[in-house]
Amino acid sequence: MNEHDKCYINLTRYPIHTDGPERDAILARVRDDLDRDGCAVLKGFLTDEGVKALTQEADGVADMGHKSFSRTNAYFSKDDPNLPVDDPRRQFFARSNAFIAADNFAKAGALRSVHDFEGFDAFIQACLQEENFFRYADPLADVIVNMAGEGNGFPWHFDTNNFTVTLAIQNAEAGGAFEYAPGIREGSENFDEVKRVLDGTSDKVTVLELEPGDLQLFRGRYSLHRVAPLKGSRPRYVAIFSYVAEPDMVGSPERTEQLYGKTLPIHWERSGRRADAYLD
């Protein structure tokens, strides 16, 4: 039996592949959480064996992660000196972490055994209640692992994708909380509230402590969020499964190069295709 034949999902707790009252109850709870603040967590979604297998796989390809050390704003855009100096688009913060691109994870590996499990995509779609729902078509980014070590982690930002599904694999020794300001740019950029979050004066920030094996659904396109600074020598691993509202979408060449240190021809061929007009 290879890794792809195994099921690392805790189906006793989360029977996502079987219609019935248990699955319906899970969906109802997740939908309520998403409606409330754009975030839902399924604690212990993986079995202990699953956590171990995904950790070992991430350790095995950790040296393939693209490490970057830079300063970035919440929109991954360049500085615009024509804007006021206190505009959030001109607020830049240190960023230091690494992304292990999707092409490092084998079809028969542990991570893709979860991603490709029968019923996984349908369950996520049912949670989000999205009629237009597609796997991200980016061959470098459909399922990746964010790897972060001691330092600044990932500062405040918005996601490119409408929805992000993440799976906590391994925590750092300390720090690394997930912090987010729910839906602050739904309908508009809302620069004033973004500025308050960046300044540390907003009362709209939620702090979430995730544990290995937890599955998180998050509307990161509209909610400003960050990973708090990490401490210790053990890396933090989080798998990211990406879904979008239109087929055939891939990342922009600029952001793909920034995150993964490379681009593919498909990124240039499809450059400019977006489902909305938000910055980034």
The DSSP-derived string for 82-97 is: TS-TTSGGG--EEEEE
pLDDT tens for 33-67 read: 999 999 999 999 999 999 999 999 999 999 999 98
pLDDT at 7 over 90: no
> How many residues are listed for the chain in this entry?
280
The answer to whether 273 and 160 have CB atoms below 8 angstroms apart is no
| Structural domains of the chain ordered from first start | 41-103+133-269 (2.60.120.10)
At 109, the amino acid letter reads G
Nearest to 207 by CA among 181, 234, 186, 172: 181
Select from 72, 61, 63 the least CA-distant residue to 96: 72
Cβ density class 141-177: b for 16+ within 10 Å, e for less:
bbbbbbbbbbebbbbbbbbbbbbbbbbbbbbbeebbb
Q: Residue range 171-198: average pLDDT?
A: 94
Q: What is the pTM of this model?
A: 0.85
Share of the chain above pLDDT 90, in %: 71
Label residue 162 by pLDDT band (50, 70, 90). confident
Q: d(Cα 170, Cα 10) in Å, to the nearest integer?
A: 17
Predicted confidence band at 275 (pLDDT cuts at 50, 70, 90)? low
Q: Please report the pLDDT score of residue 244 as a whole number.
A: 82
Token pair listed for 25: 């109850």
Asked if residue 38 lies in contact with residue 223, where contact means CB atoms within 8 angstroms, the answer is yes
Contact 39, 33 (CB under 8 A): yes
Buried b (16+ CB within 10 A) or exposed e, 35-58: eebbbbbbebbbbeebbbbbbebb
Distance between CA 226 and CA 36 in Å, rounded? 19
Residue type, 8: Y
39 and 216 in contact (C-beta within 8 Å)? yes
pLDDT range class, residue 3, cuts 50, 70, 90: low
Residue 3 CA to chain centroid, in angstroms? 23
Rounded CA-CA distance 172/212 in Å is: 10
Average pLDDT of span 92-102 = 89
Q: How confident is the model at residue 249 (pLDDT cuts 50, 70, 90)?
A: confident
Phi, psi of 217 (to 5 degrees): -110, 130
State mean pLDDT over 95-120: 93
